[in-house]
């Protein structure tokens, strides 16, 4: 097959809520930065634009609903045609953003895209907890507004089941890559043609990309005043003022979601920020809970030194690898923090700004996920309560900036 070197068809594949649209739009943004003309042809959007009647009810997606199938195939054909026109004109990459899970649909794409090389990107994520959370976010879309939350969730899950019933896994296609879209990990890859732009697309797919991550530590707590560790202490007056000051600082930015731990102090810090935003959700993740100091929970460092000198000394000797009896160490936190970051990025979708309100040890681990630090230095990274970190980590830019927010004036 003679392939046109400057043009590429990309077809997304995957069940609903697997991150296809997020990946497609981030990829587009990334390519446009290098003047690679990219456009997304999204079947769902086109369907909502062309069809007045409501199509959010699950039976519309049943493979036995002949009228539903006919309409969805028609939408798919229109988008393939539009994508062809775009490539014929001056476009470089046309992305077909739809489930495309049946072999039948993919055969149609193959036969109608034959003037250009074609790459399938399959998004896979079977993490039940994340899917539940993603579905909760999906049903806030206007097409579900007339339904109660329970009915909307059920209807969305039924829609997923219909797609599952016609799912043909990739395998025969000439060029495809299967991606674990939660972990940015390539699970399977078969590229037989020399595809334009594939190097950079592949690199993009495996890169954790954060445009603006605001990493905040909770405000001052009663435990902080006494130098006590762990627990579930509330914010002091000063801690609450810090939260309000943060809220004012971020008021002009759009923060659609704030990830916290399950602890009172992070949620209390996030609440005033949420209040000054238009639409903002607080999502507590247990992965961002502070290091569990086991037998030392609730003690001050002075008490530990006096009452448990061997613990104090061993931790001092190798803080990164030391694990509190009955609790955790930095070394054992790494996996759950990594998982928390993946969850937060996945659930943020296309949001340009992501905020995490965490704890001292947690924020050290989050920072070290994006910024290389020798392991032995991680437990000493500076995590103040009157400043926050602004992190950008994309394929072409890395930024770590410690920023101060104006405290509230006393009078
Ligand atoms: O003191 C606040 C705190 O978040 C504790 O809950 C936690 O044990 C500690 O900081 C972590 O810091 P380090 O590892 O330096 O003891």
Tell me the pLDDT tens digit for each residue of 75-99.
999 999 999 999 999 999 999 999 9
Q: What is the structure's pLDDT at 236? A: 98
When pLDDT is averaged across residues 46-55 and rounded to a whole number, the result is 84
Query: By percentage, how much of the chain surpasses pLDDT 90?
Result: 86
How confident is the model over 56-72, as a mean pLDDT?
A: 91
Instruction: Return the structure tokens found at 179.
Output: 């991606």
Whose C-alpha lies nearest to ligand 1, atom 8? 229
Q: What is residue 410's predicted lDDT score, i.e. its pLDDT?
A: 61
Structural domains present in the chain: 8-205 (3.40.50.300), 210-404 (3.40.50.1240)
What average pLDDT does range 217-245 have in this prediction? 97
Give the pLDDT confidence score for residue 291 in this predicted structure: 98
User: CA–CA separation, 33 vs 131, rounded Å?
Assistant: 31
The response to whether residue 230 sits with its C-beta less than 6 Å from ligand 1 reads: yes
In eight-state DSSP terms, residue 75 is: H
Question: Does residue 168 surpass a pLDDT of 50?
Answer: yes
In this prediction, residues 216-221 reach a mean pLDDT of 98
Kindly state the average pLDDT of the residues 338-348. Answer: 94
Residue recorded with tokens 């037998």: 295
Three-state SS across 279-345? Answer: CCEEEECHHHCCCCCHHHCCCEHHHHHHHCHHHHHHHHHCCCCCCCCCCCCHHHHHHHHHHHHHHHH
Least confident of 45-54, 75-84, 160-169: 45-54
* Confidence at 2, pLDDT banded by 50, 70, 90: very low
Q: Which of 314, 360, 376, 382 to mutate to test the pocket of ligand 1 (most atoms within 8 A of CB)?
A: 360
Q: Binning pLDDT at 50, 70 and 90, where does residue 143 land?
A: confident
Closest atom of ligand 1 relative to the 224 alpha carbon = 1
Asked whether 361 lines ligand 1 (CB < 6 A), one says yes
pLDDT (tens digit, 9 = 90+) per residue, 103-130? 999 999 999 998 999 999 999 999 999 9
Rounded distance from Cα 240 to ligand 1 centre (Å):
20
Chain mean pLDDT for the chain: 94
pLDDT of residue 1: 47
Given a cut of 80, whether residue 329 has pLDDT beyond it is: yes
Q: Which atom of ligand 1 is nearest to the CA of 330?
A: 14
The CA 410 to ligand 1 mean position distance, Å, reads 28
Q: Would you call 310 exposed, middle or buried from its count of C-beta atoms within 10 A (0-12, 13-18, 19+)?
A: exposed
pLDDT above 70: residue 293: yes
Check: CB of residue 383 under 8 Å from CB of residue 396.
no
Please, what is the angle between helix 103-112 and helix 66-88, to 10°? 30
The finding on whether 360 has its CB within 6 A of some atom of ligand 1 is yes
The pTM score is 0.88
Query: What tokens does 74 get?
Result: 């028609």
**Given this model, what pLDDT does residue 142 score?**
79
């Amino acid at each position: 097959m003679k392939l046109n070197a400057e043009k590429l068809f990309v077809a997304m594949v995957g069940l609903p809520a697997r991150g296809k649209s997020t990946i497609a739009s981030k990829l587009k943004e990334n390519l446009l930065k290098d003047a690679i003309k990219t456009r997304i042809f999204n079947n769902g959007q086109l369907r909502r634009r062309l069809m007045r009647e409501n199509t959010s009810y699950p039976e519309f997606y049943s493979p036995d609903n002949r009228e539903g199938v006919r309409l969805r195939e028609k939408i798919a054909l229109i988008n393939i045609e539009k994508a062809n026109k775009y490539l014929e004109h001056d476009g470089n990459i046309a992305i077909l953003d739809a489930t495309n899970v049946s072999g039948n649909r993919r055969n149609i794409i193959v036969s109608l895209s034959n003037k250009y090389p074609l790459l399938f990107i399959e998004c896979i994520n079977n993490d039940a907890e994340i899917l539940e959370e993603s579905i909760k976010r999906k049903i806030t879309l206007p097409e579900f507004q007339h339904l109660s939350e329970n009915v909307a969730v059920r209807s969305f899950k039924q829609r997923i089941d219909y797609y599952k019933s016609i799912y043909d896994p990739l395998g025969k296609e000439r060029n495809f890559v299967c991606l674990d879209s939660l972990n940015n990990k390539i699970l399977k890859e078969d590229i037989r043609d020399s595809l334009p732009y594939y190097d950079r697309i592949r690199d993009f797919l495996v890169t954790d990309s954060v445009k603006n991550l605001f990493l905040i530590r909770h405000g001052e707590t009663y435990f902080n005043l006494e130098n006590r560790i762990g627990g579930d202490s509330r914010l002091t007056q000063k801690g609450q003022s810090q939260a309000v000051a943060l809220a004012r600082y971020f008021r002009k930015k759009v923060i659609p979601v704030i990830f916290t731990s399950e602890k009172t102090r992070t949620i209390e810090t996030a609440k005033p920020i949420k209040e000054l935003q238009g639409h903002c959700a607080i999502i507590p993740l247990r992965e961002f809970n502070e290091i569990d100091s086991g037998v030392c929970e609730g003690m001050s460092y002075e008490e530990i030194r006096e009452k448990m000198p061997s613990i104090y000394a061993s931790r001092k000797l190798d803080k990164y690898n030391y694990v509190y009896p009955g609790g955790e160490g930095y070394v054992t936190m790494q996996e759950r923090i990594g998982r928390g970051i993946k969850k937060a990025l996945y659930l943020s979708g296309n949001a340009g700004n992501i905020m995490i309100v965490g704890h001292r040890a947690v924020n050290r681990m989050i920072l070290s996920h994006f910024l290389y630090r020798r392991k032995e230095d991680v437990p000493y990274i500076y995590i103040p309560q009157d400043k926050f970190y602004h992190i950008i980590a994309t394929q072409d830019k890395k930024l770590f900036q410690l920023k101060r927010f104006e405290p509230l004036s006393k009078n």
